[in-house]
Structure formats: structure tokens, C-alpha cells
Structure 1
Amino acid sequence: MTVLVAYGTTNGSTARIADAVAAALRERGLGTETRPARSVTDVTRYEAVVVGGALYAGRWHRDARRLVRRHRRALAQRPLWLFSSGPLDASATERDIPPVRGVRRTMTSLNARGHVTFGGCLEEGARGWIAGRILAAGKGGDFRDFDAVEEWAGRIAGELKKR
């Protein structure tokens, strides 16, 4: 079984989470391919798909939105999980953060098996005007919890191995 782990990111934080998801799936015996969402042209060769997107102003990253929109028919026919990254505080480790409205609609329309929101990361050198303002206000940092990422990916692997 081969699982596609695709992601939409601006500054690379979500890519690192996607890499961690793929590594955890590989450790559990699943083949994986990790790709930027904008480079995915076909999902039909994968038995399952995980799509992640950074959150910006309450919206999922544009590349992740485009991937699920362009490939909706094929994605609806295979196991699909979604993740978001973004809170620049400890909230994602303290409680379950529901998906933003657009991701929630995608989950429903594509019958996704699950979603999780992981903490984000915004560090010096990040691109974008808003990122610069957040950093200038001293609100950046790395809030990713890779133990939680591995645990979530482990649950996905468990579900896929039951198939």
C-alpha cells in the first residue's frame, strides 16, 4: 500500500509535519510519498491520502484547498485524512481544535476519516507581511508536537492495516 502525504505550506513548517507523518507511516510498514500539494497531478495511484495545510487567517493553505478541489472525485474513493497546522501557542496540545469551516466542508463532502490541528511554527526569516507583523509582536515560535504527530499517524496506519 502506498500513501500520499501532501501538504500546503508557505514557510516549511507544515512540510516538516508532513514528513513526520510519512516517517511514522513508513515505520509501520506502509509505503509513502511526500509531496507539496501544488505538485500533485494525480492521486489515483495511491491507496490512501493524507493532506495537510497551514492555517492563515482562518483558512487552509491555498495549495491544499486546490488539491482537494481538483482531485475530489478520486479522493472520495479512497481513505482520506486531513490535518491543519497553525496555532502559535500551546492550544493544539491542550485540546482538540476543530477544523476551520472550509476544511470541515471538505471532510463532509469527501467523507474524510479524520482531521487534527497541530501547533504551528513561525520563526525569524518567515515570508509574508503578516508573518513579519506576528514576529515583530513577539508571538512567533515553534509549537509543533511531533509526539502527537507520530501518534496520529500511528492511528492512520492501524486503520489502513485493517483493510
Structure 2
Amino acid sequence: MEQRVLVTHGSTNGSTERIAETVAEVLRTAGITAEALPARSVTDLDTYEAVVVGGALYAGRWHKDARRFVRRHRGALAHRPVWFFSSGPLDSTASQRDIPPVPGVKKAMARLDVRGHVTFGGCLTEGAEGRVARLILRNGKGGDFRDFAAIEHWAAGVAKELGGMVHR
């Protein structure tokens, strides 16, 4: 049985989108049909057996597109395996320790019985959109703190869990 997985994301400047694309690539390498799509573009989940939702973190909240996606599709998500990821710290903390989900994400995880969550480092580089982003960059706080080895490792764990579900 072919298993189709949606990896969806809320991303303003493309950093979280790149993480979602990496997760989908790892799933495809494991033989799972996966596609990465912006959360705002997904209209239904009928063709997907599982979903991974990622959101950039802004001021302690998930990106609005990720929040809206979860709210809009909560009925369908409740009947599928779901994983969440967040991206955001503009420092190395996400590589040094497990960062718990922000309160809104934690609440959604409990409601949907989400199988796992991880926080990855974020990325904010020159040309980023938004007044706050420009201010952060002006103060020298930007950079790329994504750890693609950690992202691939986490995605491989999701793929392994999905593979076990197919063979049950």
C-alpha cells in the first residue's frame, strides 16, 4: 500500500519551507510518497495518510499559516498520524538541547494526539521581510542556525515510524 504524506509549513522568508522540503526528501528516500506544500495552499487532506506540520516561531507563536492550517483541518488531522516541528531560535540552543513546544503548539499537540515535536534552529539573513526581521538583522542577531543533519535524523525517525505502520 502506497503511503502519501503531506509536509506542510508556515514560512515567511523560506527558512521553514526549506526544512519542510528536507523532511519530504528524507521521506521520499525512504520510499514514502511525500510532498511539501505551503500550509495556506492546502485545501483538503483526503489524499494523505499522514501529515507533518511545521511553523516558524515569531514572538513565541507559530506562524499564522501553520496555526490556521491546524485549526481548519483539525477534524481530518485527528484521524491521521501527525508530527509537528518548529523553527526559530536564532542561536545554537536548538542544537544543544531539546526545546519544548510553545504553549499554542503544545495545546494543539494534546488535542490531536501528535506523535512528536521538535524545534530546529531558524535562519534569518539579509533581505528578510518584515520590520522586526530587519531590526533583528540590524542588531547583528541574524544567521543560519538550521542543523540539516538533525533535521534529516528526525525525518528518518518519522519515516521509520511510518514504515512500521504500513507493515502492521
Q: TM-score, normalised by structure 1?
A: 0.99
The one of 58, 61, 84 equivalent to 1:56 is 58
The one of 117, 120, 123 equivalent to 1:121 is 123
The one of 96, 99, 120 equivalent to 1:97 is 99
| Per-residue Cα deviation, 1:83-123 (whole angstroms, up to 9, x for no partner) | 00000000000000000000000100000000000000000
Aligned residues with identical type, % of pairs: 66
Give the gaps of 5 or more residues in structure 1. Answer: none
Q: How does 1:14-163 map to 2 (within 5 A)?
A: 14-163=16-165
Give the gaps of 5 or more residues in structure 2. Answer: none
How far apart in 2 are the matches of 1:140 and 1:16? 17
Instruction: Give the deviation of 1:44 after TM superposition.
Output: 2.1
How far apart in 2 are the matches of 1:65 and 1:103? 8
What's the RMSD between the two structures over aligned residues? 0.4
- 1:126 maps to amino acid: A
| Per-residue Cα deviation, 1:12-58 (whole angstroms, up to 9, x for no partner) | 00000000000000111100011000000001210000000000000
Pairing 1:7–2:12 present = no
Q: TM-score, normalised by structure 2?
A: 0.96
